[in-house]
Structure 1
Amino acid sequence: MSMNAIKAIAFDLDGTLIDSVPDLAAATNALLAELGFAACSETEVRSWVGNGAKKLVQRALVAKSDREIDDDYLQQVLPLFMTHYQANLQQHSRLYDGVLEVLTQLKQAGFALAVVTNKPYKFTVPLLQAFGLDGLFDVVLGGDSLAKMKPDPMPLNHLLAHWQLGQHQLLMVGDSKNDIFAAKSAGIAVIGLTYGYNYGEDISLSGPDAVCEQFSNILAHVNHRPNEME
C-alpha cells in the first residue's frame, strides 16, 4: 500500500510512544499483593499488555491464582487496579528515543496527529501531559472513548470520518498485532514497530505495510510535507 498521500497519522501509545510497563508492573504487583497472590515480573507484564486494563488484570490473576477468573470477580477488583495505577502513573515510564523530536517534526510539517490507544482515557491524557506530548495531537482516543477498541477498526474509522479522509490518507503506527489488525480492517496503511509489546511475536508476522526498528525510521515512509487538510 502506498503512503504517498498520507495526511494524518494515528499512533498507539504504550510500546510505541512510551514504555509504560514499569508503571503497569508496579500497579499489577500492588494489586496482587493486596489480593494475597504472588508477585509478577516486568517481563510477564510486557507479555500481558495490549488489550486494555481489564485484560491485563485478568491475565495477571489467571497466572498468579492458577484458576479461571469470572467476570464478576474481575469487575470487583478492576477498580483496585485503577487506584494502584493512578498512584504509579508516570513514576517509572519513559519516552522512547526520538519520539518527541519526530512528532514535533511531523506536526510542523502539517500532518494531523492522533493517539489511538486501548489504555483508559483518564490515564492517557495525564501521561501525554507528563511527557509534553499533549499539544501535538489533534485527537486522543482511549480504549473507553468509543464502543469498541483495537483490534476493532472503530477508532480508525472514527478518525477517517472526523477528518473526512480517504483510507489512503490515514496511517497507523503501532507495536502490536492489535494495531495491525485494526488498520487492515479499516483499509489503511500501517507501520509496525519492533521494540514494543507484541506478546513475544515478531510484528512482521501480522503483515504491516512496513516494519521499523526505531521510531525515527517512520519518517522515511511518509512525505515530509503533506497537502493541506481540506
Structure 2
Amino acid sequence: MTKTPWQAVKVIAFDLDGTLVDSVPDLAAATNATLSELNLANAQEQQVRSWVGNGAKVLMTRALSFAQPNKPVDEINQQLDSVMPRFMHHYGLHLEKHSELYPEVLETLTKFKTSGYKMAVVTNKPYEFTIPLLKSFGLFDFFEQILGGDSLTRMKPDPLPLIHLIDFWDVAPHQLLMVGDSKNDILAAKSAQVLSIGLTYGYNYGEHIGLSSPDAVCESFSQVGDLLLN
C-alpha cells in the first residue's frame, strides 16, 4: 500500500476562529459596540467576517477605516491607542454569547486524542480571550499547547508559532500539520515547511482557500479526520 504524507503526522495545530469556532457574531457585536461609543456607523456581520484573521488590532483598524473612509491611515493608527482597550472590554463581555462550535469538531478532536495525536491551538486571537473561549466549548483539555497572537513575538503568517511547536515536541517539520481556514494559516505552514489543510467554511477575505495551495482542502471538519484516520 502506498504511504501518504498524512501517515507521518504526529502533531496537529488548529486555528481557532473560522476553524473550530464561528466567533464572528461576537466579534461583530464587540466591534459595533466600540464604533457606537465613537458615534460611528456600525458594520454588517458579513463585513466583519472579511476583517478577521490578523488579530484584534488589525480588525479594529479595518473597522475604523470603514467607518471613517476619509480619515488618513496615520490618524486611524493614532486612534487605536484609545480604541483598543474599549474593544477588548466589549469583546470580553460578548466572548461566548453568540459564537458557535462548528459541526463535528468535538467528535473529530476526540478521535484524534484517542488515536494519540498531540494537538495545539495556534490563533491570532489574543491569549486572554482564547482560553475562556476554548473552555466555554469544552475544547481546552484537548490541547497541550495554546498559542495566542500575543504569546510569542510574531504571529501567523509568520512561521514562528509552528517552529515553536516543532521544537516543543521535538518532531520533524513533516510530522506537523496545520489546519486552518485562512491564507495566513497556509502561508505559515509553507514557511515552516509543514503540512497544511485548508477549510472552505471559515473566513478568508472572500478568497477560496484552495488559492493558497494547501496540501489538502476540506469542506467540513470531519473530512480532516477522514484524511488522517482512514
Question: TM-score category by the smaller chain?
Answer: over 0.9
Alignment check: 8 A CA contact 1:192 1:210 kept: yes
SS in 2 for 1:211: strand
* 1:67-106 correspondence to structure 2 within 5 Å: 67-70=71-74, 71-106=77-112
| Displacement after TM superposition at 1:223 (Å) | 4.1
Q: Measure the CA separation in 1 of the matches of 2:213 and 2:63.
A: 28
Of 96, 101, 125, the residue aligned with 1:119 is 125
TM-score by length of 2: 0.95
Partner SS for 1:114: strand
Please list the CA deviations of residues 124-170 of structure 1 after superposition, one character each: whole Å capped at 9, or x if unmatched. 00000000000110100000000000000000000000000001100
Equivalent pair of 1:121/1:143 in contact (CA under 8 Å) = yes
Letter in 1 for 2:185: D
Residue 228 of structure 1 corresponds to which residue in structure 2? none
Task: Give the counterpart of 1:203 among 196, 206, 209.
Answer: 209
Q: Which runs of 5+ in 1 are unaligned?
A: 225-230
Residue 165 (structure 1) aligns with: 171
Q: Give the AA of the match of 2:66.
A: A
SS in 1 for 2:188: helix
Paired residues for 1:1-230 under 5 Å: 2-66=5-69, 67-70=71-74, 71-223=77-229
How far apart are residue 33 of structure 1 and its match?
0.3
Match of 2:6, SS state, is coil
TM-score between both structures, scaled by the size of structure 1: 0.95
In structure 2, stretches of 5+ residues that fail to align are none
Q: Which has the higher contact order (CA 8 A, sep 6+)?
A: 1
Contact map agreement 1:50 1:178 (CA 8 A) in 2: yes
- Percent identical: 60
Aligned length: 224
Which letter does structure 2 place at the counterpart of 1:52?
A: G
